[in-house]
Amino acid sequence: MFRVTIAMLLAGCFMATAAHGQTPEAPVQPQTERGVQYLCGGVGQDESEYMKTQARSHGLLMTFATRDGSYLAKVHVDIADRKGAHLMAIDCDAPMLLVDLAPANGYRILAQTGGVSLHRTASVRKGGNNRAVFVWPSQDGPSEKPTRAEKRGLPEPDGPSDPQGEPQLRSQSEMRRP
């Protein structure tokens, strides 16, 4: 009886220690396309903050928004290297996309949503925090496919309001100005 009690106490302590040492599950799970790992997220405050913190350890953070500053989801993204070799094609149903790209210049990115395509060329340097912002004209009315926020019953994320490092979303003409 005494041995059973001690064994049960030790097992309980071990289980409590193991449970206490666990880290919470990440709000966005990594996925892989053609050998390239990526995270598609940013729906809601928790995911948005998580994506921003993860940007330091990933090659490139892409943000999708409209001219009025509202975040966009349901974006198809094609990425090729500078020679045009296709690296990946994914559909991101959230306003932020982190992609693990090797440091290099001249990645060609095509992002499409609502029948409008935007092209960018991006360079990825070591150390993360490389960003590309895609800004579309405001979309008129809802699309045919619900976003993750709509599925969860959350309001759609608004434009950036974080004064601590979130890039300001600007129109294409504003981006050309120094």
User: Could you tell me the residue ranges of all domains in the chain?
Assistant: 26-176
Task: Output the CA torsion sign for 94, 99, 104, 110.
Answer: negative
**Which CATH architecture fits 26-176?**
Sandwich (2.60)
8-state DSSP, 95 = S
Confidence at residue 153, expressed as pLDDT on a 0 to 100 scale: 54
Burial group, residue 154, by CB count within 10 angstroms (0-12, 13-18, 19+): middle
Query: Given a cut of 60, is residue 15 above it in pLDDT?
Result: no
131-136 and 60-66 beta bridge pairing: parallel
pLDDT, tens digit (0-9, with 9 covering 90-100), for 54-81: 888 888 999 999 999 899 999 999 999 9
pLDDT, tens digit (0-9, with 9 covering 90-100), for 118-160: 999 999 998 777 999 999 987 654 444 455 555 555 544 444 3
